[in-house]
Structure 1
Amino acid sequence: MDIEEEERIKALNRYIKGDKPSIICRDAGKSEKWLFKWVNRFKTGEEEWYKSKSRAPKKHGRRTDKEMESTVVNVRNALMEGNEHESKYLGISADAIQYRLEKHGFSREEMPSVSTIKRIVKKHGLIVNKRERYKRVKSKKRYTILNPTRIDEMHQMDFVGPRFIKGYGAISSLNLIDVVSNQVHIEQYDTRSMDNIIGFLIRFWRNNAIPRYLQLDNGMYFIGDFKYPRRFCRFLRFCLYVGVEVVFINPKCPWMNGSIENFNGWFEAKFWDKEKFTSLEDMRAKSTHFVDQYNDLSAWKNKNKSLEHINPTRILNKSLEISQDKLPLTDGKIHFIRKVNNEGDISVLNEAFEVGKEFIDEYVWATICLKKQRIGVYYRAKDQDATILIKKFEYELKEEVKALRPEICKTL
């Protein structure tokens, strides 16, 4: 008998004699929970109640039976072949296999875990080398002051292409993604024009929530041509008109738009490069099926997460006509992620602003506030969680800034 067992027996004997539990526990240097654990064990009538029980699991982890293993292999092979209409764009991941197993009628309890599926795939030699993605920079997200956690808080948008169709010509795809829900919306065009972009957003936002932020690269079809200083292009005017804050990432830094870039890679591998198209209409028809499968899988992955929508949730008023050519300059904000150059400057809409040489090669966040006609530049140091305002500039505009019209949108 070891010392701990003797201690348990001694404590129990004192308890039976009527000593106060608090005194027994104080003398033993134990808690009352400890004391009553052994009192209750004694009351079971076990002969060796004072002995510790093994903590080893009584049952081994469940083993995947041969039938389920065979099903996993068959699903994986079907996904790899990509010939089934209902699963051709899902990819071949363990998540996709679980998704298909559920569609085949298996419950969560019946289907194997992700790690088990991976072991089965490896066992049967069904591993496929992943396509190398662009290398991400270890920035620790100090370049941004945003951390979206709600659905429709931030969307990212980008063009992919062009893709040349024999006998038709070049086609580009305009892709949009919600960074929290991972839901996407896409449309293909034969030109990358602001008319197409604005029309795309009008149609989408009349039936779907308008985000608070829309993050983009610096393509001229988004940011404008800088022909006239402090003049805003139609696309920016439209976003301000409907109450959206546009965020432009730093030039030549696609990793800052990670959500849409990851989707673009999937889009190219599973759809763009895989299918054969005869025309723009043919591509649009086929892309609808691709989007449905992608969004269904994304929703399935998120179904156990407690994701909330932004509040308020707004959509465009369907009865209101929006003229793309006569958009006023509306109160709002436009944001820019910029890297400070060797002169200590940043460029915002082709205009230089001196931030300071102490910030050379660092990323800063610049915000144009239309109503105040001012630019604020913010920075977060490596050892700091908070972002601080480091510079302010007057940003005088020659055009009147109108107030946001509430009737433009409808609150759900």
Structure 2
Amino acid sequence: MSHVNARLTVHGRQLLVDRVAAGRPVAHIAAELGVSRQTAYRWVGRYRAEGTAGLRDRSSRPRSSPRRTSADREQEVLQARQALRFGPLRIAAVTGVPARTVTRILHRHQVPRLADCDPLTGTPIRASRASSNRYERTTPGELVHLDVKKLGRIPAGGGWRAHGRSEQVRGRGIGYDYVHVAIDDHTRVGYAEVLPDEKGATAAGFLVRAGIYFAEQGINRIERVITDNAFAYRNSAAFARAVADLGAVQRFIKPHCPWTNGKAERFNRTLQTEWAYRQVFTSSAQRQAALAPWLQHYNTERIHTGIGATPITRVSPT
């Protein structure tokens, strides 16, 4: 198979050198075949030096790479990825290796993407899926995404993650914690609360407190709120009043198109990976107590790979 960027196949290169051997000018043949004169002379030179073998594709890799990252540094990056389960930007901050170099090292060693791995063990568990349709609002508060994520409550003393799966450790029937989340589209500043249900009045109260939180971070006005089509969002008078009290306009995603609310969905996954399942909790209360410190870390310390900075810096870039 020909090189992905090559203008000529091996057959085309043979045709080129045959026409040159017949005595025709190289410039004329290059024009006919759609390549430059330099390319034509290069293939003719390789054919004269190596014969037919010189017309085959060869690797573009340099014969030597004196500035390539050393094996020890590569192992340091791989060990950081395995121990911390961070992305390239955060691994770069820990190891001192540039983020783009970290990306190349991970690709070179065929390390799977974090999104394809179990958040607790780091073991690959799923195939990847990406969307090419991306957007971002230009100012803080222009659009805030809301969503709810259900997490199974943890039985007293810890569930199966702490003690393994057995009949003695059962979490069935104890219900769910409902994690309500809000994330600003432009800055990625996020807010979350663990609440007992996902009813309209509960979602309305969360939205009011989220608006207060965003104001404390410097996002003084929320212009639009986007949610999925859950009953609490679409049919609750209390939630509609909460949106109106903020002076915002409510928007809904197109049915069966969750990627429209993708920033909230991605925030949910980050919550699971870095908070809910990051360590083994022995009670729901212990897990809930760890949420506020993690949110502070997320907004002010953690590099968000989507924007290349911490979310709070987008509120106040200076």
SS in 2 for 1:157: strand
* 1:85-96 pair list within 5 angstroms: 91-96=85-90
1:152 aligns to what?
A: 141
Deviation at 1:136, TM superposition (A): 6.2
How far the C-alpha of 1:174 sits from its partner, in A, is 0.6
TM-score, length basis structure 1? 0.45
The partner residue of 1:75 within 77, 80, 90 is 80
Match of 1:63 in 2: 68
Percent of aligned pairs with the same residue?
Answer: 22
Structure 1 residue runs without a partner (length 5+): 1-59, 80-90, 226-232, 311-412
Distance 1:154 1:200 in 2: 16
Question: Secondary structure at the residue paired with 2:187?
Answer: coil
Task: Give 2:251's aligned residue.
Answer: 247
Deviations 1:164-201 (A, max 9, x none): 32255321111111122222111111211333323323
Matches within 5 A, 1:249-264: 249-264=253-268
1:112 is aligned, of 68, 78, 98, to 98
Counterpart code for 2:80: V
SS of the residue corresponding to residue 139 of structure 2 reads coil
Change (3 A) 1:256 1:124: closer
Residue correspondence of structure 1 range 239-318 to structure 2 within 5 A: 239-295=243-299, 296-298=301-303, 302-303=308-309
1:223 to 234, 239, 242: 234
**Shift, 1:275, TM fit:** 4.0
Secondary structure of the residue that 2:90 maps to in structure 1? helix
1:158 is matched by which residue type in structure 2? D
Query: 2: distance between equivalents of 1:199 and 1:299?
Result: 28
Contact 2:139–2:186, Cα closer than 8 Å, also in 1: yes
Would the aligned equivalents of 2:204 and 2:239 in 1 still touch at CA under 8 Å?
yes
Residue 150 of structure 2: SS of its match in structure 1? Answer: strand
Q: Calculate the aligned-residue CA RMSD, in Å.
A: 3.5
Partner of 2:30: none
Q: Secondary structure at the match of 1:74?
A: helix
Counting only pairs closer than 5 Å after superposition, residues 10-409 of structure 1 correspond to structure 2 as: 62-66=67-71, 68-79=73-84, 91-101=85-95, 106=96, 111-114=97-100, 116-123=101-108, 126-127=111-112, 130-131=116-117, 132=126, 148-166=137-155, 169-208=175-214, 209=219, 210-224=221-235, 233-295=237-299, 296-298=301-303, 302-303=308-309
Task: Kindly state the Cα deviation for residue 160 of structure 1 after the two structures are TM-superposed.
Answer: 0.5
Q: Higher helix fraction: Structure 1 or Structure 2?
A: 2
User: Whose Rg is larger?
Assistant: 1
Amino acid aligned to 2:222: P
Q: Shift in Å at residue 133 of structure 1?
A: 7.1
State how far apart, in whole Å, the 2-side matches of 1:214 and 1:257 are. 10
Cα offset, 1:235, TM superposition = 0.9
- Distance in 2, Cα, partners of 1:68 & 1:260: 36
Letter in 1 for 2:230: G
Q: What residue identity is the alignment partner of 1:92?
A: F
After TM superposition, give the deviation of residue 273 of structure 1 in Å. Answer: 4.1
Contact 2:178 2:196 in 1 (8 A): yes
Count how many residue pairs are aligned between Structure 1 and Structure 2: 219
Structure 2 runs not aligned, ≥5 long: 1-64, 118-125, 157-173
3-state secondary structure, aligned to 1:165: coil
Shift of residue 254, structure 1, vs aligned partner = 0.8
Aligned partners of 1:304, 1:172: CA distance in 2, in Å?
26
Partner SS for 1:166? coil
Q: SS of the residue aligned with 2:183?
A: strand
Report the residue type matching 1:251 in the other structure: P
Alpha-carbon deviation of 1:243?
Answer: 0.4
Kept in 2, the 8 Å contact 1:181–1:298? The answer is no
Q: Which moved more, 1:272-281 or 1:146-155?
A: 272-281
- Would the alpha carbon gap of residues 68 and 240 (structure 1) be closer, same or farther in structure 2, given more than 3 Å must change? same
Q: For residues 190 and 276 of structure 1, what CA distance do their matches in structure 2 show?
A: 21
Aligned to 2:18: none
